[in-house]
A and B are shown apart, each in its own frame.
Chain A
């Protein structure tokens, strides 16, 4: 816990990629804050700089200008207090599910024995207990992504970064995974930043939705989602939900919603 209660503070963040003709401004003057235990969704068109923001917060990418603080400390490089879930599961095919989940523990040099029960508990939470000794290729896409979520949580990071984690899944699995993620989040209470293309998904999961527009990447709006928790699949049909989706869609510039 930080004194300010702010998990992420981003101020005037700018990222310019050098290029032969004209430098590409991926991100211009982005400023926002994420409170501890808050769930934030970041939506916007492809190539508007969503992943750039995430990578800078994760310390995987250098910024051009501005300031980024995670848990009150300036980000200068990767930090083990971050858990990342990518669009693809990125499981190591030569490791069993349980060994994949324990990968962060190994790399961080923590005691495997100590974390083994924790890994089991996470597999229980994601419904993968009976698959713990299987290899990734024996799992379905949804199961693989659940394993990668378990892996992102095993070293107890304070911040969970999700980069379009369900983008590669079919619509039905995606809906289920939304419920699953909400359950995990409400149990673990990790500050979460979800990048997604899907406005309904963004709304369904988030406390607040940040909207980005491309070229240059800018955060144009932050919308509070007042829907009660826990959110249920039925809520997706409610007028309040539709209203939130429409509000987010409008700021992106979608007319048909």
Chain B
């Protein structure tokens, strides 16, 4: 028996388990191609239009951070500018989640112990996971390439785009394979792998923002940090603008190296154990833990800490960019349009419009945290300790409201932290730190009601349809995000954009904070949350 015996069977098992999940991920990612192509054709039909928008874009480091460095004004290059980094992040998350699901999660639940006792080699589990995930990425890349060719784009660049996306997904599969060896819990492995995807996106963003603007005025050659990031490698392939195929060597070598590391770690540890052993803990509980709220806080605090670090870092980065943006805005009026559209504001002061756009991103992050936090009650209920807890003197309302309180309080903390970091860093570089901290904190907090709507929705679906709650809550978040934050850029009609809570948040500081929409949003959120609590109290536990 070799170390790989049984791999084919495990591949079939993994495909069977993922027969719905992976196709949904692939379709949900590939669908960005038609959306973006339609939007580009609608809004920038001629090369002159594209040169104009890219000219202003290259003057906005914030936009380059979010997207990528433009490589040209052809329709294909414009599509890549609008699409590539987002799709790369999605491919990365699809891959890391799937690899952890088929490796560490199997070990954590004890499934791999049963499988490992059959005629299955030591490396078969990890190999099968990588085969399935690599296959999923190839399908995704193939779909993207075919779609782009179908829209009349040159074949070479289209295949380059598909191959690049598939390659980045495969690199992150390798990263997740290593992460799954390090920790004992799949939650932690997912966290590490997702953090690597996030860091890759930000590092690439820094490289693109720091890049050299070329003499033509609308293309940028990225600085060296971009080359450190797998997501940067996709964009550096320069699809439709030179098609640098050799860049593909980087992801393939990285993948091979990380898989080698993962295999080496596998043989150095026991099944079910991580490289980092669990430490012992206290034999007695502290009084702070001994209440439903204390328990909810204990279960949620790690997540909140991670988000706080990320949002303070992001807020500080935004604050530090403000001076650069101000200089860029002084040079060119054309940027105004782009930023104003992102911010959803009118003819406001451009710096305020820039900050308003950033506040919207903080709001989206806070909403993402809230959804993640409010899925915890569901995992406690489904095969978790909720059954035993709810058989004590803890009422259902108290139990669920404790998690809700941590989620809502946590969202407020995140917004305050991000806003204060923005104001502080901006103030330290341009003066007036005290006032700016207050202004930016207030502006960030204006986003809270939109996040509360998603909290209310998450509680409502938890009360009504517990089995579907996780999927529905994340779907609501994704739709709100796409429709609300990118709706104007994608040219969606107002009626569609209105379904997103983010559409209704005043673009502070570009616009003044009007009370009515905030009160209305909060009222809807409270109504949804109350309905969810009432429904949960009346239904059976779904274990």
- A and B associate in one complex: no
Instruction: Give residues in B with beta carbon < 8 Å to A.
Output: none
